[in-house]
């Protein structure tokens, strides 16, 4: 019975992960161009993207490599650019059943991206690890293959075409937030406040010296914390079909 549930969750994750994989494939073209400019081969860039699914982190890393930065500079920049994933991992850990093994937690933690986090945290009740594995199955190859093709032929494609393909990710985010926002005025309010605050932080000179990663962390803690205090959600028993590990 548990194996059937895990298999169903895995297929569901693949289905929801297909738009993510397609969006990653498109966005990774520009990443491949940055990798080529940094002197990486197609194989090196592909392996990097396969092991590190972090767009801002990889762009920053390739840019620093092209500039001849030291290992310490690259390490510090990667820590700053990817710091928001710590918050996402903490949130996902609360979605997992308490008896979920450390191996499942480590595997999920390997690919906590903005998009995979969004669909995983939106799962009703407890998160079955196999749902996230399904999303990872299509997202990781999409990112890696897109990077590879970006190195090989990215400069051949028109810049407008590459930019247009990346719009798919924004459409996917809208598909994630609109249904719960329509069902809950609190969620809709938090979404609107988050959008307004994000725009303000990105444009006001006062926050110009703060990296985008720290901006996200700051807004996440403040807005989510305020919403949790003002509009607490009562604990509900986890549905049996969503729980646990396999």
- What confidence tens digit (pLDDT) does each residue in 7-16 have? 999 999 999 9
Q: What are the residue ranges of helices labelled H in 38-128?
A: 42-51, 55-66, 71-81, 84-95, 102-110, 114-121
DSSP annotation of 239: P
Q: What integer best gives the mean pLDDT of the chain?
A: 83
pLDDT tens-digit profile of 84-109?
Answer: 888 889 889 989 999 999 999 999 99
Average pLDDT for residues 51-61, to the nearest whole number? 83
Percent with pLDDT over 90 in the chain: 31
Average pLDDT on 101-126 reads: 91
Compute the average pLDDT of residues 198-211: 81
**Please, which residues have CB within 8 angstroms of residue 34's CB and are 6 or more apart in sequence?**
58, 59, 62, 63, 66
Question: Under a CB-based contact definition with an 8 Å cutoff, are residues 31 and 49 in contact?
Answer: yes
Average pLDDT rounded to a whole number, residues 196-202 = 87
What pLDDT, on the 0 to 100 scale, is given for residue 212?
67
Mean pLDDT computed over 77-83? 80
């Amino acid at each position: 019975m548990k194996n059937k549930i895990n298999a169903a969750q895995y297929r569901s994750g693949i289905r929801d992960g297909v738009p993510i994989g397609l969006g990653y494939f498109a966005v990774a073209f520009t990443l491949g161009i940055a990798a080529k400019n940094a002197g990486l081969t197609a194989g090196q860039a592909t392996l990097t993207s396969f092991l590190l699914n972090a767009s801002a982190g990889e762009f920053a890393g390739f840019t620093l490599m092209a500039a001849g930065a030291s290992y310490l500079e690259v390490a510090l920049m990667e820590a700053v650019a990817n710091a928001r994933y710590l918050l996402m991992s903490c949130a996902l850990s609360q979605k997992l059943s308490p008896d979920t093994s450390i191996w499942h937690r480590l595997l999920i933690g390997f690919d906590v991206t903005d998009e995979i986090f969004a669909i995983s945290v939106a799962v009703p009740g407890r998160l079955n690890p196999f749902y996230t594995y399904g999303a990872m199955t299509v997202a990781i190859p999409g990112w890696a293959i897109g990077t590879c093709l970006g190195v090989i032929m990215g400069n051949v494609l028109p810049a407008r075409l590459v930019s247009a393909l990346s719009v798919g990710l924004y459409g996917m985010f809208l598909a994630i937030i609109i249904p719960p926002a329509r069902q809950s005025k609190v969620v809709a309010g938090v979404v609107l406040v988050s959008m307004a605050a994000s725009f303000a932080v990105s444009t006001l000179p006062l926050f110009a010296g703060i990296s985008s990663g720290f901006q996200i962390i700051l807004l996440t803690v403040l807005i989510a914390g305020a919403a949790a205090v003002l509009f607490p959600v009562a604990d509900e028993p986890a549905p049996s079909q969503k729980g646990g590990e396999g």
